[in-house]
Structure 1
């Protein structure tokens, strides 16, 4: 397993190719090429980004240099590491026969070849090389990793038992892969047992970032399998992007404009609950509120401050807000009662062409609030 250069956590660092897009307001618009993500840590999420053409140049150069020198086990090992680093399945298949002829009596190289083909999900070729590799501890570890890739942690567990029995810290990272495989299948109890045994044999691991990360995944997720969600929305073809985005962006901007304008003219009723009129100043304009006669005004949403000119009615501020994304569809009615003395009620009644019986109206009363 690799070690993150940023947080120091040990684990499998991800390598993949991602698209680059021109964005507007967080929305991807036009494709502008590809970028290569290298050494992404799943704990701290930091990575390295390379221009895709530069990454291709480095890949071709590295594979060319490695494939020309396959005379010693060290050179074969370097070639296989390069193949995995650059996901070069074709180069692996081209050189597999030469490596087999040259190192068929080397169980270490045979096991690494099996691991490389297993990495690319070429199961038949992986099985053939694992069969020729023997049963050394390292070969057993690679066989276990192969079983984990296929989704069989129960089959991998016996192959890794010797790590616990002999307390081999050099192979300890493989045990975390076993715990992760159990978690992916929703077998949280089995994953917890693996982590408990790791802590028992190597107590210092309990404070390591990667160990805490696995514990966090296990916490509160009993028997809930991890599902890989894939987007069902097809990518927009390049030739159709100007038409699609040329239509969607103006519509989006229009909708945002409508929601903004709806927030600037929010209707609000001013209500006097006393038995005498009094004046109120709101949004820089002075108004006279008559008892029992609501006055409708349109005002921008936000924290509204108002000032009253009646000794018993205090000045204050209220929050008139709605959710901006659905504001255009909301029919929210606001009522401001500065004196908090008005008694409001709503009546709900039913109507039918042929009523089957009497329908009792429902009343709801509201009082002692400034803003309704």
Structure 2
């Protein structure tokens, strides 16, 4: 079942194609209303549906216990098509009883009431003389709560073929309608033929007369039961019910058989208790000890696979195959369990875990053990609330998350890896009760597991998140997305030690090496990693991937660019070198070369999101709007949120081309896509896009007005910078975590308004942050402070994202009059994106004289 924590989780939204009927719930066995309908499962944020996880067909949602069967909508549609095919096959041969049975069976299989009700009259008309088919239709009508139709068809079947089975089915149908007098003739053959194994129907008939107070008829039928099956008098309940009618003979007092049977059972139980109480007390201790011993021998353990691939594990020498993201129930008993993954990769060693509970409290202690050999699973513990008040709804479920361990032990879990009931019955007078559930958190089509881990950092903790990502990478080394999780949750030194194991593996995994290099730089080991890759390249000079990696850590831009170019020559070029050259050319304003290399990179690595971003930037900077529009339209087929970003980018490109009518069409498309995802089409995202387009169109006042209406501090900070309200902007800066470029934007705004104290304060904050960053950041810190020994030409070639570099160069030009002209010229080139802070940079670049 879906669940939410703090308003976030999964839930159903919407109902279509609703079908209801009275029937017996397959979970709780109650006669109640069963509902089937189409819906959609969503990821919800603050109870607002954000991302759809897929359409579902809910089958037989019980009004009593709320349990149901959820079927993927695609599977439902295929089953529905097969049903339609079966119906059409019958309609082509309407007198074929076999095809009729298959068609009815198909309708029942998917619980399609409309399809059955549409088909049944045709079969009844064509095959009225086929008793077997009429009985099948009667059973189907009965299943869907149409008991009168069931009776009618059984009457038709009886006319075609008067046999005992049909008579008994009709009698049962009449008995369930409290029409005992009508049912009795259809059971006469049991008496006449003396069929002992059919005596139950006579027994039901006698009880029916009892409930009406017709005790003479009840006794007559009871006597027939004794004649047909003499052994029935050995049934104490039968004798007590017969005696009850004897006691009430001559009256019309109704007797409820269930009450009589329950009273008899209670009396018998009490008598037995008084006889054996002493023995029971003696045996209780023995039984308790035996129970505790047996429970220890048969201790239940849930074996969990947290990976998205199957693997085998040996538990005390016995091999088990674990399917992807699965839960398997075992009973290995308490004690030591040796856990060894079959064909484990380096870094995964066998281990021994101990499962043990206290002997004396074992029968009463509710313990749940979860064994996760890969240590990559995330378990969700949920507390589900139920309210008995009709005026006050139960609060939403609360959740906690745990993972990164081989053995987990929980107490007080009511529902382990099973859906909790939608409602419960309790003798408690409390208005609110709760139940505990335990579940395996699984990836899905809309939200990948690495994204989930990062979203759960506060609940899991960094250490657990780091362990989980580490285990995924050891067991699934090509799941590179976990490298990002590891980088955000692990200290650089520890990260370097772990990644070295993957760097040493062959064949070479580029993503592992890139992460390793970044970790070495964060550990301030730039020179060491440079020497390391120079040595590796010297041993294998023709390895193009090593050329790229050696260039990536080289402090010499010329050497890096040379290596990148060499690794793109000839057959089997390194895709990341095209990407690196794209970034290099984009950063120095050679946009045509950047676009050419981006095209080559995207052709080789079409699904890399960072390459896609540089590809779009290069096309935008080079003025290839038509090509960019084609790329954006193709990317709109991607899942959310990337499809939304592509639509927004198309709106911006249409805007700068002056195609306002098409801009409105694109915004309409964005609204429709948001609706499809269950999001508010008038949401903050639409308003933020409108603000961006207004700014790009040269209307910053309108942009600021829209942004001020949005609740996010970051939006309001930009609005205040546009308006030049430095006091408000500094107040906004206290809420989000400020970065280098935010401080520099405040510096530039303050400088343009001659607010020197504010400008110097934020300039110093920016320089402090830059001095702690990469070698490129440190180069710009020196240039801004004025103590850099790097020639200005070399500074202009330092790698940064274009917009960020434009801000840095504008600041460096303001602080360095001698290099101002070169800095400003490059900043103007890189200020190609007309969205914020384009106008601010244009204003600063135009306000200062150059030499």
Asked if these proteins are the same fold (TM beyond 0.5), I'd say: no
Higher helix share: 2
Structure whose CA Rg is larger: 2
Give TM-score scaled by structure 2 length.
0.19
Higher strand share: 1
